[in-house]
Structure 1
Amino acid sequence: MILAGLTLAAIGAADLLRRFVPRRAPRLLVLCVLIALVITAGICSDALVPAVIAVVLGGAWIWTMPLDATGRASFWPAVVLAAIVSATTALMPARDAPGLIGEVWHLPAPEGEIAFDVAVLAVGVVLFVGESANLIVRAALDREGTWRPAEQGGLFRGGQLRQPPQAATGFQGGRLIGPLERFLVVVLTLAGAYALLAAMLAAKGIVRFPEISKDGETGARAEYFLVGSLVSWVVALGAAFLLWWGIRV
């Protein structure tokens, strides 16, 4: 579990760094600090090997998942990552004595104390469903050649323009709405509030209906909405299930 948590945390933090630190030199400096923090956390929690593996997996993720979703690997790195974190969460339960941190760690909860490994996994999930999940959605849209209205980019495939841009420029807030929506999906799923979850997902469709209804005969907006939303929800539900499993292992 500690490997899954450190990996998701490293990837999620690195993607936030790539998105919000535009200049190369400061980005490399902060990235080095991030690597040092992950390694330090591994040393202090008696998980140096998992920490090193997490750094390697984070580097592989950055290499194969560019911010513009034009990587040749498409969204397959996300599939590989899902298999790795699922297997390590299932096969590596939370440890009773996580090194030096375990001697001072104490985080009470209504149903008992939260283990350090579970806390790391929770932090990793929260970081990953932010910008990292956005990359997965973009990669899926790019692979399917789906029109991107917010970017006024027409039809893209492999990062190349295939059709002229459409006149409409809707869905400008998707980069922010997506993470907030996934946070809510994770929280509501873990809380067992399935009725509220269904209502929220239905409300999104209602809010988007006026924009989608302008589709005409192309179906571009509907396809964009369906592909993007379904991929986003799958990532969020998978993250929620991973955390739920980690809590109960």
Structure 2
Amino acid sequence: MSWLGVLLIGLAATDLTHSVWHVRALPQLVGVASALLVALAAGLTTGRDLAALSVVALLVVLWGVTVTRGFGRGPVWLPLVVLGLAICLGVGFSGAATPAAGALESWLDGVAVPLLHGLSADRFLLLVGAFGVQLSTGNVIVRLVLKVTGTLNPMRDGSMPPTPMKGGRLLGPLERVFILALALAGQITAASIVVAAKGLLRFPELSSRGEQHHVHQMTEYFLVGSFVSWLVALSSLVVLV
């Protein structure tokens, strides 16, 4: 699973960089560099590893480029296809991946943090990649799905007054991280409470805004975005368990 972990780290680094610096080609460069540096630290240097890392680098670049164009005037469905292909390749060839070791494994064997001590390098790469995806990549996936399905935010197109709540792009990553962490800890009930709490807190605010058809539009926007966001966390959980 080492190649899949490296791939997820590259995708996450690309999107995190893009969320901070809107500089052309920089996110892809950071994503590829992050994936290669992590792979080097994990001792993935055989011929088979190098071939796999070349594919990883290509997929990271394709993801960054298609996302940028998708949010512009390019096809919105294309980055979702690239992401699906990347994940399928990562999972499909996971059995052929070289076990991660190298300096990363040595560090994990000697680290004083009980949670990390003795953790395999493969597992560590997957955890870092999965939690990294919950941050900016999860938001990108949600925005792409909303756009490709034509689910518009009525507050953004001017049909409803703007909401005073501005933390949506922060709450989404926090929510996904909480869900994934609680589920990995075996606290499925607690993760379910997080999901339920979001609905209980937001629906009264949604139902009080504007005309009835606007409320329906906003509810649809909220539900589609929330379910896609939760699926990102649950999909990562499937990979980790």
Cα distance in 1 between the residues matched to 2:16 and 2:163: 25
Residues 13-22 or 214-223, more deviating = 214-223
Q: 8 Å contact 1:2–1:92 — kept in the other structure? A: no
Distance 1:34 1:206, change over 3 A: closer
Cα distance in 2 between the residues matched to 1:104 and 1:172: 40
Cα distance in 1 between the residues matched to 2:103 and 2:59: 25
Find 2:156's aligned residue among 153, 157, 163: 153
CA displacement, residues 141-175 of structure 1 (integer Å, 9 cap, x when unaligned): 111211225xx432xxxxxxxxx542243652110
Q: Please list every run of at least 4 consecutive aligned residues from structure 1 whose deviation after the TM superposition is greater than 6 angstroms.
A: none
- 1:177 aligns to 2:171 (yes or no): yes
Aligned length: 228
Q: How does 1:18-97 map to 2 (within 5 A)?
A: 18-24=18-24, 28=26, 32=29, 35-44=32-41, 45-46=43-44, 47-66=49-68, 69-70=71-72, 71-74=74-77, 75-89=80-94, 91-92=95-96, 95=99
Cα distance in 2 between the residues matched to 1:38 and 1:226: 33
Cα distance in 2 between the residues matched to 1:102 and 1:183: 25
Q: Which residue of 2 aligns with 1:125?
A: 130
Q: Which residue of 2 aligns with 1:158?
A: none
Matched residue type, 1:8 = L
TM-score of the pair, normalised by structure 2: 0.81
Cα distance in 2 between the residues matched to 1:165 and 1:67: 26
Cα distance in 2 between the residues matched to 1:241 and 1:184: 16
Distance 1:178 1:205, change over 3 A: same
Distance 1:178 1:54, change over 3 A: same
Percent identity, aligned pairs only, is 29
Cα distance in 2 between the residues matched to 1:195 and 1:105: 31
CA displacement, residues 81-128 of structure 1 (integer Å, 9 cap, x when unaligned): 332333244x24772x63465456516767982111211111111111
Uncovered stretches (5+) of structure 1, i.e. residues with no partner: 155-163, 245-249
TM-score of the pair, normalised by structure 1: 0.79
In the TM superposition, what is the alpha-carbon distance from 1:35 to its structure 2 partner? 3.2
Distance 1:11 1:204, change over 3 A: same
